[in-house]
Amino acid sequence: MDITLDKADAELQRRAREFTEQYLFPLELECEMNDGLSPQATKTVKAAVIEHGFDAINHAQEDGGRALSLFQQILIQEEMGKATGALWDLVWRPSLPMRQASEALKDRYLRPACRGERRDAYAITEEGAGSDTSMIETTATRDGDGWVIHGEKWHVTAGDIADFFLVHALVDGDPAQATVFFVDKDLPGVTKVRTPKYMHTFVYEHPIFAFDDVRVPLDNVLAEVGRGDDLTRDWFVEERLMIAARTVGAAARALDLALDFASGRRAFGRAIVDYQGIEFMLADTAAEIMAAKSLLYRIGQQVAVELDRKQMHAEAAAAKLQCSEMAGRAVDRAVQVFGGRGYMREQPVERLWRELRVDRIWEGTSEIQRVIIGNELKKRGSGVYTGWPD
């Protein structure tokens, strides 16, 4: 498989790099110091997102998206992942499973979300249910002409700015009837319980929300009753590939910063880059980025043309595991190269060090990615990983 970029993809990558450097990097310190951005800064970026064509890149044109392939999305996310403060999340990508919504629901939720007028937040995790979604306790009960949703959701990313949720709930409490519901945030019974503080600075928050007997219309079901696990898995597959892309980009930025610093910083009569102790850290990072990026691009190109769900699930797990673990090592070395400066919040390497930690946790921990890979090995052998079927 040829993983060199064609002209159009190389141009897309260049535009994403330019956008990141021109619009996201200058806002990093404001975001870090103020724990978020001003409405004016957000508005400026939003206009630039549309102008550059990076809005809803993961959705069909008929829904107002840019219909880019998964590989092209990876190229863009790799560049934007270099920015700290999770500023990449200003560039909206409405949750993938919404493409399975009815026309009426697309009109109400997906299409305005693609235009940047509405914002979704995907609410799966609960206090007692994270990796094991069969332990979810949020219920949906049919009542006359609607559903009544009851439960509490944790870590709802962008829940502070979202105006609707995709809530993963069990119809009548039955794990075999897992279903995703559209729930407007302003409905009676939806309340923000609290907004915890996290290790990273994220341009948005991850509040806890309670759904206290919230009534939604009968047709607010995404796709069909009982399809919840499949839909949520589709979301995970896409998000895991995007995490892999962002972490590769972040590691590359950390390497560039560390190389630059090590070339200028002098100790004991020479630039520290000339000490093997430093040089080897940079060399390990460079080689590991090369390996992870090759894997990411290969999987990205493969999933862009093949749509076998099980294989995508298995490969996305390998990409997320390899890239996020690699990036964790890369940013840790970068902090070490920077010495005391590497511990200062004004330095991007410090922020990347904190921010990349969650990439080994969310959208399935590293252990869960290994469980997925292990299951694939047990069911179908090692071919997906070692044989690289063409």
Ligand X SMILES: Cc1cc2nc3c(=O)[nH]c(=O)nc-3n(C[C@H](O)[C@H](O)[C@H](O)COP(=O)(O)OP(=O)(O)OC[C@H]3O[C@@H](n4cnc5c(N)ncnc54)[C@H](O)[C@@H]3O)c2cc1C
Binding-site ranges for ligand X (CB under 6 A): 122-125, 130-131, 155-157, 198, 206, 358, 361-365, 367-368, 371
For residue 123, give the 3-state DSSP assignment.
strand
Pick 157 or 311: Cβ nearer ligand X: 157
Ramachandran quadrant class, 364 (left: phi over 0; alpha: psi -120 to 50; beta: rest): left
Q: State which residue, 131 or 191, has the beta carbon closest to ligand X.
A: 131
Residue with smaller CB distance to ligand X, 131 or 294:
131
Nearest distance in Å: CB 351, ligand X: 15
Angle at 249 between CA 385 and CA 259, to 5 degrees: 115
Give phi and psi for 206, each to the nearest 5: -130, 70
Nearer to ligand X by C-beta: 19 or 154? Answer: 154
Write down the least CB distance from residue 361 to ligand X, Å.
5
Q: Report the nearest approach of ligand X to the CB of residue 103 (Å).
A: 26
Residue among 16 and 364 whose Cβ is closer to ligand X: 364
The answer to whether 210 and 185 have CB atoms below 8 angstroms apart is no
C-beta of 200: minimal distance to ligand X in Å?
7
Instruction: Between 215 and 357, name the residue whose CB sits nearer to ligand X.
Output: 357
Q: Which residue has the tokens 């070339």?
A: 263
- The alpha helices in the chain, defined as continuous H runs, are 7-19, 28-34, 39-52, 70-80, 103-105, 111-114, 228-264, 276-305, 309-338, 348-355, 366-380
The answer to whether the CB of 32 falls within 8 A of the CB of 201 is yes
CB 195 to ligand X: min, Å: 12
153, 198 Cβ separation under 8 angstroms: no
- Contacts by 362-366 with C-beta closer than 8 Å and gap 24+? 362/155, 362/157, 362/243, 363/236, 363/239, 363/240, 363/243, 363/320, 364/131, 364/236, 364/240, 364/317, 364/320, 365/131, 366/321, 366/324, 366/325
Token match 């590989």: residue? 71
Q: What are 312's two structure tokens?
A: 């995508």
Q: Which residue is nearest to ligand X (CB)?
A: 130
**Least Cβ distance, residue 299 to ligand X (angstroms):** 21
- Residue 205 or 350: which CB sits closer to ligand X? 205
CB of 298 to ligand X, least distance (A): 26
Work out how close the CB of 290 gets to ligand X at its nearest, in angstroms, rounded to a whole number.
Answer: 28
Comparing CB distances to ligand X, the nearer of 124 and 254 is 124
